[in-house]
Homo-oligomer: A and B are copies of this chain.
Protein backbone atom coordinates (compact mmCIF):
# COMPACT_ATOMS: atom_id res chain seq x y z
CA UNK A 1 0.00 0.00 0.00
CA UNK A 2 1.07 3.57 -0.53
CA UNK A 3 1.29 6.23 2.15
CA UNK A 4 -0.12 9.59 1.16
CA UNK A 5 -1.98 12.71 2.14
CA UNK A 6 -5.28 13.88 0.68
CA UNK A 7 -4.60 17.16 -1.11
CA UNK A 8 -7.46 17.57 -3.53
CA UNK A 9 -10.40 16.30 -5.50
CA UNK A 10 -11.35 15.52 -9.06
CA UNK A 11 -14.86 16.10 -10.36
CA UNK A 12 -15.98 14.21 -13.44
CA UNK A 13 -19.62 13.98 -14.46
CA UNK A 14 -19.07 12.16 -17.76
CA UNK A 15 -17.69 8.80 -16.70
CA UNK A 16 -18.24 5.06 -16.76
CA UNK A 17 -21.66 4.34 -15.28
CA UNK A 18 -20.23 2.20 -12.49
CA UNK A 19 -18.39 5.25 -11.16
CA UNK A 20 -21.57 7.17 -10.34
CA UNK A 21 -21.45 8.23 -6.72
CA UNK A 22 -17.77 7.62 -6.20
CA UNK A 23 -15.59 10.41 -4.81
CA UNK A 24 -12.22 10.88 -6.45
CA UNK A 25 -9.37 12.19 -4.30
CA UNK A 26 -5.96 13.52 -5.21
CA UNK A 27 -3.42 11.89 -2.89
CA UNK A 28 0.15 13.12 -2.68
CA UNK A 29 2.57 10.34 -1.84
CA UNK A 30 4.65 10.64 1.34
CA UNK A 31 7.96 9.05 2.22
CA UNK A 32 8.50 7.36 5.58
CA UNK A 33 9.41 10.68 7.17
CA UNK A 34 6.09 12.10 5.98
CA UNK A 35 7.85 14.34 3.48
CA UNK A 36 5.69 14.89 0.39
CA UNK A 37 6.95 13.34 -2.82
CA UNK A 38 6.30 14.79 -6.25
CA UNK A 39 4.16 11.72 -7.07
CA UNK A 40 0.39 11.72 -6.88
CA UNK A 41 -2.43 9.20 -7.11
CA UNK A 42 -6.02 9.79 -8.08
CA UNK A 43 -7.93 7.35 -5.92
CA UNK A 44 -11.51 6.54 -4.98
CA UNK A 45 -12.37 7.39 -1.40
CA UNK A 46 -13.80 4.41 0.49
CA UNK A 47 -13.34 5.55 4.11
CA UNK A 48 -14.54 9.14 4.22
CA UNK A 49 -11.03 10.61 4.17
CA UNK A 50 -10.89 14.39 4.54
CA UNK A 51 -8.56 17.03 3.20
CA UNK A 52 -5.12 16.82 4.76
CA UNK A 53 -5.54 13.36 6.25
CA UNK A 54 -2.75 10.80 6.07
CA UNK A 55 -4.08 7.70 4.36
CA UNK A 56 -3.18 4.38 2.80
CA UNK A 57 -3.99 3.67 -0.82
CA UNK A 58 -4.31 0.27 -2.41
CA UNK A 59 -3.51 0.08 -6.10
CA UNK A 60 -4.06 -2.29 -8.98
CA UNK A 61 -6.76 -4.96 -9.06
CA UNK A 62 -6.98 -4.92 -5.25
CA UNK A 63 -8.47 -1.44 -5.45
CA UNK A 64 -11.64 -3.22 -6.59
CA UNK A 65 -11.87 -5.23 -3.37
CA UNK A 66 -13.12 -2.58 -0.96
CA UNK A 67 -16.76 -2.47 0.09
CA UNK A 68 -17.44 0.36 -2.35
CA UNK A 69 -15.40 -0.50 -5.42
CA UNK A 70 -16.34 -4.06 -6.34
CA UNK A 71 -16.08 -4.59 -10.11
CA UNK A 72 -15.61 -0.89 -10.78
CA UNK A 73 -13.01 0.41 -13.26
CA UNK A 74 -10.68 1.90 -10.63
CA UNK A 75 -7.02 1.15 -10.00
CA UNK A 76 -6.48 3.08 -6.77
CA UNK A 77 -8.54 3.45 -3.62
CA UNK A 78 -8.05 5.08 -0.25
CA UNK A 79 -8.83 2.18 2.07
CA UNK A 80 -7.49 3.31 5.47
CA UNK A 81 -6.90 6.48 7.46
CA UNK A 82 -3.58 6.29 9.29
CA UNK A 83 -3.57 6.76 13.06
CA UNK A 84 0.08 6.11 13.64
CA UNK A 85 3.23 5.34 11.70
CA UNK A 86 6.19 3.93 13.58
CA UNK A 87 9.52 3.36 11.84
CA UNK A 88 12.68 2.12 13.51
CA UNK A 89 11.19 2.48 16.96
CA UNK A 90 10.24 6.09 16.39
CA UNK A 91 6.71 7.43 16.03
CA UNK A 92 6.92 9.35 12.78
CA UNK A 93 3.27 10.30 12.69
CA UNK A 94 0.40 10.26 15.13
CA UNK A 95 -2.97 11.49 14.02
CA UNK A 96 -4.08 12.66 17.42
CA UNK A 97 -0.90 14.49 18.27
CA UNK A 98 -0.44 15.98 14.87
CA UNK A 99 3.20 14.85 14.94
A positions within 8 Å CB-CB of B:
1-3, 7-19, 24, 26, 31-32, 40-43, 46-48, 56, 58-67, 69, 71-77, 79-88, 92
Copies in the complex: 5
Q: How far is the CA of A3 from the CA of B10 in the complex (A)?
A: 10
Nearest chain B residue, comparing its CB with the CB of A32: B40
CB distance from A20 to the nearest CB of B (A): 11
Q: Taking A8-B32, A26-B32, A32-B26 as contacts, is the C-beta distance between A47 and B1 under 8 angstroms?
A: no
Q: How far is the CA of A61 from the CA of B60 in the complex (A)?
A: 7
Q: How far is the CA of A71 from the CA of B11 in the complex (A)?
A: 28
Pick the residue among B15, B66, B80 that contacts A80 (CB under 8 A). B15
